[in-house]
Structure 1
Protein backbone atom coordinates (compact mmCIF):
# COMPACT_ATOMS: atom_id res chain seq x y z
CA UNK A 1 0.00 0.00 0.00
CA UNK A 2 2.89 2.36 0.67
CA UNK A 3 4.00 2.14 -2.98
CA UNK A 4 0.69 3.66 -4.06
CA UNK A 5 1.46 6.77 -2.01
CA UNK A 6 5.09 7.26 -3.10
CA UNK A 7 4.39 9.38 -6.19
CA UNK A 8 1.77 11.62 -4.51
CA UNK A 9 4.12 12.19 -1.57
CA UNK A 10 6.93 13.01 -3.98
CA UNK A 11 4.72 15.60 -5.71
CA UNK A 12 3.86 17.28 -2.40
CA UNK A 13 7.50 17.26 -1.30
CA UNK A 14 8.66 18.77 -4.61
CA UNK A 15 5.93 21.38 -4.39
CA UNK A 16 7.03 22.32 -0.90
CA UNK A 17 10.67 22.54 -1.97
CA UNK A 18 9.82 24.73 -4.96
CA UNK A 19 7.43 26.99 -3.03
CA UNK A 20 9.51 27.40 0.16
CA UNK A 21 11.99 29.95 -1.26
CA UNK A 22 9.12 31.95 -2.72
CA UNK A 23 7.37 32.12 0.64
CA UNK A 24 10.48 33.56 2.29
CA UNK A 25 11.62 36.05 -0.32
CA UNK A 26 9.26 36.21 -3.24
CA UNK A 27 5.63 36.73 -4.08
CA UNK A 28 3.60 34.53 -1.76
CA UNK A 29 0.72 34.31 -4.28
CA UNK A 30 3.00 32.53 -6.73
CA UNK A 31 4.19 30.19 -3.99
CA UNK A 32 0.62 29.31 -3.01
CA UNK A 33 -0.32 28.70 -6.66
CA UNK A 34 2.70 26.44 -7.20
CA UNK A 35 2.08 24.49 -4.02
CA UNK A 36 -1.61 24.12 -4.87
CA UNK A 37 -0.70 22.85 -8.35
CA UNK A 38 1.57 20.18 -6.90
CA UNK A 39 -1.10 19.16 -4.36
CA UNK A 40 -3.69 18.79 -7.15
CA UNK A 41 -1.22 16.71 -9.12
CA UNK A 42 -0.64 14.54 -6.05
CA UNK A 43 -4.39 14.11 -5.66
CA UNK A 44 -4.74 12.95 -9.25
CA UNK A 45 -2.17 10.22 -8.69
CA UNK A 46 -3.31 9.24 -5.20
CA UNK A 47 -5.35 6.14 -4.41
CA UNK A 48 -8.05 8.42 -2.96
CA UNK A 49 -9.22 9.56 -6.39
CA UNK A 50 -10.63 6.13 -7.26
CA UNK A 51 -12.40 3.38 -5.37
CA UNK A 52 -10.23 0.40 -4.48
CA UNK A 53 -9.04 -1.45 -7.58
CA UNK A 54 -9.36 -5.19 -7.92
CA UNK A 55 -7.83 -7.65 -10.35
CA UNK A 56 -9.27 -8.18 -13.82
CA UNK A 57 -10.27 -11.78 -13.16
CA UNK A 58 -12.04 -10.87 -9.93
CA UNK A 59 -13.78 -7.91 -11.61
CA UNK A 60 -14.97 -10.07 -14.52
CA UNK A 61 -16.31 -12.67 -12.08
CA UNK A 62 -18.13 -10.07 -10.01
CA UNK A 63 -19.53 -8.43 -13.14
CA UNK A 64 -20.86 -11.78 -14.37
CA UNK A 65 -22.72 -12.18 -11.07
CA UNK A 66 -24.06 -8.66 -10.52
CA UNK A 67 -24.08 -7.25 -14.08
CA UNK A 68 -22.17 -4.10 -13.15
CA UNK A 69 -19.65 -2.57 -15.57
CA UNK A 70 -15.90 -3.08 -15.27
CA UNK A 71 -13.80 0.06 -15.79
CA UNK A 72 -10.17 -0.37 -16.78
CA UNK A 73 -8.23 2.76 -15.85
CA UNK A 74 -4.76 4.07 -14.95
CA UNK A 75 -3.60 6.80 -12.54
CA UNK A 76 -3.17 10.26 -14.00
CA UNK A 77 -5.52 9.69 -16.95
CA UNK A 78 -7.63 12.82 -17.41
CA UNK A 79 -10.43 10.87 -19.12
CA UNK A 80 -10.50 8.36 -16.26
CA UNK A 81 -10.69 11.23 -13.76
CA UNK A 82 -13.57 12.76 -15.74
CA UNK A 83 -15.46 9.46 -15.70
CA UNK A 84 -14.78 8.94 -12.01
CA UNK A 85 -15.96 12.38 -10.93
CA UNK A 86 -18.96 12.49 -13.26
CA UNK A 87 -20.15 9.15 -11.86
CA UNK A 88 -20.11 10.67 -8.38
CA UNK A 89 -21.27 8.31 -5.66
CA UNK A 90 -22.24 5.70 -8.23
CA UNK A 91 -18.54 5.17 -8.94
CA UNK A 92 -18.44 2.81 -5.96
CA UNK A 93 -20.86 0.49 -7.76
CA UNK A 94 -18.47 -0.04 -10.69
CA UNK A 95 -15.63 -2.57 -10.63
CA UNK A 96 -12.36 -0.64 -11.14
CA UNK A 97 -9.21 -2.31 -12.53
CA UNK A 98 -5.93 -0.37 -12.53
CA UNK A 99 -4.11 -1.58 -15.65
CA UNK A 100 -0.74 -0.42 -14.29
CA UNK A 101 -1.09 -2.81 -11.34
CA UNK A 102 -2.80 -5.71 -13.08
CA UNK A 103 -1.16 -7.22 -16.19
CA UNK A 104 -4.32 -9.22 -16.95
CA UNK A 105 -6.32 -5.98 -17.00
CA UNK A 106 -3.79 -4.36 -19.33
CA UNK A 107 -4.08 -7.32 -21.71
CA UNK A 108 -7.89 -7.03 -21.72
CA UNK A 109 -7.56 -3.35 -22.67
CA UNK A 110 -4.99 -4.10 -25.39
CA UNK A 111 -7.23 -6.81 -26.83
CA UNK A 112 -10.17 -4.40 -26.97
CA UNK A 113 -8.15 -1.55 -28.50
CA UNK A 114 -6.01 -3.16 -31.23
CA UNK A 115 -2.93 -3.33 -29.01
CA UNK A 116 -3.27 0.13 -27.44
CA UNK A 117 -3.81 0.70 -23.73
CA UNK A 118 -6.55 3.27 -24.23
CA UNK A 119 -8.42 4.01 -21.02
CA UNK A 120 -11.00 4.26 -19.69
CA UNK A 121 -12.25 1.10 -21.29
CA UNK A 122 -15.60 0.06 -19.86
CA UNK A 123 -16.79 -3.52 -20.31
CA UNK A 124 -20.53 -4.08 -20.02
CA UNK A 125 -21.89 -7.60 -20.53
CA UNK A 126 -18.61 -8.62 -22.18
CA UNK A 127 -18.66 -5.77 -24.72
CA UNK A 128 -15.85 -3.18 -24.42
CA UNK A 129 -16.57 0.54 -24.84
CA UNK A 130 -13.61 2.93 -25.12
CA UNK A 131 -13.94 6.27 -23.32
CA UNK A 132 -17.74 6.19 -23.14
CA UNK A 133 -19.85 9.13 -22.05
CA UNK A 134 -20.19 9.16 -18.24
CA UNK A 135 -23.97 9.58 -18.56
CA UNK A 136 -24.10 6.33 -20.54
CA UNK A 137 -22.07 4.52 -17.86
CA UNK A 138 -24.39 5.94 -15.17
CA UNK A 139 -27.36 4.60 -17.15
CA UNK A 140 -25.77 1.13 -17.12
CA UNK A 141 -25.84 1.25 -13.32
CA UNK A 142 -29.59 1.95 -13.17
CA UNK A 143 -31.65 -0.89 -11.75
CA UNK A 144 -33.30 -2.97 -14.48
Structure 2
Protein backbone atom coordinates (compact mmCIF):
# COMPACT_ATOMS: atom_id res chain seq x y z
CA UNK A 1 0.00 0.00 0.00
CA UNK A 2 2.83 2.39 0.81
CA UNK A 3 4.52 2.13 -2.59
CA UNK A 4 1.30 3.34 -4.21
CA UNK A 5 1.81 6.72 -2.55
CA UNK A 6 5.63 6.87 -2.67
CA UNK A 7 5.91 8.84 -5.92
CA UNK A 8 3.14 11.37 -5.14
CA UNK A 9 4.53 12.00 -1.64
CA UNK A 10 8.07 12.36 -3.02
CA UNK A 11 6.78 14.90 -5.55
CA UNK A 12 5.01 16.91 -2.84
CA UNK A 13 7.93 16.87 -0.42
CA UNK A 14 10.60 17.73 -2.99
CA UNK A 15 8.36 20.37 -4.60
CA UNK A 16 7.68 21.94 -1.23
CA UNK A 17 11.38 22.06 -0.36
CA UNK A 18 12.24 23.61 -3.72
CA UNK A 19 9.37 26.11 -3.38
CA UNK A 20 10.57 27.17 0.07
CA UNK A 21 14.08 27.58 -1.33
CA UNK A 22 12.75 29.81 -4.12
CA UNK A 23 10.61 31.82 -1.69
CA UNK A 24 13.60 32.42 0.60
CA UNK A 25 15.57 33.71 -2.39
CA UNK A 26 12.80 36.22 -3.10
CA UNK A 27 10.92 34.50 -5.90
CA UNK A 28 7.50 34.07 -4.29
CA UNK A 29 5.63 33.81 -7.59
CA UNK A 30 7.99 31.15 -8.90
CA UNK A 31 7.64 29.24 -5.62
CA UNK A 32 3.85 29.20 -5.92
CA UNK A 33 3.97 28.06 -9.55
CA UNK A 34 6.48 25.32 -8.73
CA UNK A 35 4.50 24.09 -5.75
CA UNK A 36 1.22 24.02 -7.70
CA UNK A 37 2.92 22.13 -10.53
CA UNK A 38 4.29 19.54 -8.11
CA UNK A 39 0.90 19.23 -6.45
CA UNK A 40 -0.76 18.66 -9.83
CA UNK A 41 1.82 16.01 -10.81
CA UNK A 42 1.43 14.28 -7.45
CA UNK A 43 -2.34 14.12 -7.97
CA UNK A 44 -1.96 12.81 -11.53
CA UNK A 45 0.37 10.01 -10.40
CA UNK A 46 -1.73 9.09 -7.39
CA UNK A 47 -4.40 6.38 -7.34
CA UNK A 48 -7.00 9.16 -6.96
CA UNK A 49 -7.06 9.70 -10.75
CA UNK A 50 -8.33 6.18 -11.37
CA UNK A 51 -11.82 4.85 -10.66
CA UNK A 52 -12.19 2.70 -7.57
CA UNK A 53 -10.17 -0.47 -7.90
CA UNK A 54 -11.86 -3.86 -7.60
CA UNK A 55 -10.48 -7.31 -6.93
CA UNK A 56 -9.80 -9.46 -9.99
CA UNK A 57 -12.59 -11.91 -9.20
CA UNK A 58 -15.17 -9.18 -8.63
CA UNK A 59 -14.11 -7.38 -11.81
CA UNK A 60 -14.34 -10.60 -13.81
CA UNK A 61 -17.80 -11.30 -12.36
CA UNK A 62 -19.05 -7.79 -13.17
CA UNK A 63 -17.57 -7.92 -16.65
CA UNK A 64 -19.40 -11.17 -17.34
CA UNK A 65 -22.67 -9.45 -16.38
CA UNK A 66 -22.29 -6.15 -18.22
CA UNK A 67 -19.68 -6.94 -20.90
CA UNK A 68 -17.43 -4.00 -19.99
CA UNK A 69 -13.63 -4.46 -20.15
CA UNK A 70 -11.44 -5.22 -17.16
CA UNK A 71 -8.37 -2.96 -17.01
CA UNK A 72 -5.39 -4.20 -14.99
CA UNK A 73 -3.17 -1.28 -13.95
CA UNK A 74 -0.72 -0.07 -11.33
CA UNK A 75 -0.05 3.39 -9.88
CA UNK A 76 2.82 5.32 -11.43
CA UNK A 77 2.50 3.59 -14.82
CA UNK A 78 2.58 6.27 -17.51
CA UNK A 79 0.81 4.01 -20.01
CA UNK A 80 -1.99 3.33 -17.52
CA UNK A 81 -2.30 7.05 -16.90
CA UNK A 82 -2.41 7.73 -20.64
CA UNK A 83 -5.17 5.15 -21.08
CA UNK A 84 -7.12 6.55 -18.15
CA UNK A 85 -6.91 10.16 -19.31
CA UNK A 86 -7.73 9.39 -22.95
CA UNK A 87 -10.76 7.33 -21.96
CA UNK A 88 -12.15 10.39 -20.21
CA UNK A 89 -15.48 9.88 -18.46
CA UNK A 90 -15.89 6.53 -20.18
CA UNK A 91 -13.19 5.12 -17.91
CA UNK A 92 -15.78 4.73 -15.17
CA UNK A 93 -17.56 2.09 -17.25
CA UNK A 94 -14.50 -0.18 -17.20
CA UNK A 95 -13.64 -2.38 -14.23
CA UNK A 96 -10.22 -1.34 -12.90
CA UNK A 97 -7.94 -3.74 -10.98
CA UNK A 98 -4.81 -2.42 -9.24
CA UNK A 99 -2.29 -5.26 -9.53
CA UNK A 100 -0.28 -3.92 -6.58
CA UNK A 101 -3.30 -4.29 -4.31
CA UNK A 102 -4.66 -7.54 -5.73
CA UNK A 103 -2.35 -10.57 -6.08
CA UNK A 104 -4.98 -12.37 -8.17
CA UNK A 105 -4.98 -9.45 -10.60
CA UNK A 106 -1.19 -9.56 -10.82
CA UNK A 107 -1.42 -13.29 -11.55
CA UNK A 108 -3.87 -12.63 -14.41
CA UNK A 109 -1.48 -10.08 -15.91
CA UNK A 110 1.52 -12.41 -15.57
CA UNK A 111 -0.42 -15.25 -17.21
CA UNK A 112 -1.37 -12.98 -20.13
CA UNK A 113 2.16 -11.60 -20.59
CA UNK A 114 4.45 -14.60 -20.28
CA UNK A 115 5.32 -13.92 -16.64
CA UNK A 116 5.74 -10.15 -16.96
CA UNK A 117 3.53 -7.63 -15.16
CA UNK A 118 3.02 -5.46 -18.23
CA UNK A 119 0.21 -2.97 -17.76
CA UNK A 120 -2.22 -1.78 -18.83
CA UNK A 121 -3.60 -5.14 -19.74
CA UNK A 122 -7.22 -4.95 -20.84
CA UNK A 123 -9.37 -8.07 -20.88
CA UNK A 124 -12.36 -7.98 -23.22
CA UNK A 125 -14.57 -11.07 -23.57
CA UNK A 126 -11.89 -13.19 -21.92
CA UNK A 127 -9.13 -12.05 -24.32
CA UNK A 128 -6.21 -10.03 -22.90
CA UNK A 129 -4.84 -7.05 -24.83
CA UNK A 130 -1.58 -5.48 -23.69
CA UNK A 131 -1.33 -1.68 -23.83
CA UNK A 132 -4.16 -1.31 -26.33
CA UNK A 133 -5.00 1.87 -28.21
CA UNK A 134 -7.28 4.02 -26.02
CA UNK A 135 -9.65 4.55 -28.98
CA UNK A 136 -10.04 0.77 -29.29
CA UNK A 137 -10.86 0.48 -25.57
CA UNK A 138 -13.28 3.42 -25.79
CA UNK A 139 -15.13 1.59 -28.58
CA UNK A 140 -15.49 -1.45 -26.29
CA UNK A 141 -17.02 0.74 -23.57
CA UNK A 142 -20.02 1.56 -25.74
Task: Kindly state the Cα deviation for residue 27 of structure 1 after the two structures are TM-superposed.
Answer: 4.0
Which runs of structure 2 are paired with 1:48-127 in the superposition (5 Å)?
Answer: 48-127=48-127
Moved more, 103-112 or 39-48: 39-48
Aligned pair count reads 142
Q: Is the 8 A contact 1:44 1:75 kept in 2?
A: no
Q: Using structure 2 for the length normalisation, give the TM-score.
A: 0.88
Shift of 1:28: 4.4
Unaligned runs of 5+ in 1: none
TM-score (norm 1): 0.87
Q: Quick one: distance in 1 between partners of 2:54 and 2:7?
A: 20
Partner of 1:139: 139
Residues in 1 aligned to 2:2 and 2:101: alpha-carbon distance in whole angstroms:
14
Partner of 2:20: 20
Is 109-118 or 6-15 further displaced after alignment? Answer: 6-15
Over residues 71-119 of structure 1, what are the superposed CA-to-partner deviations in whole Å (9 max), with x where a residue is unaligned? Answer: 0001111111111111111100000000111111011001100111110
Of 100-109 and 26-35, deviating more is: 26-35
Q: CA RMSD in A?
A: 2.2
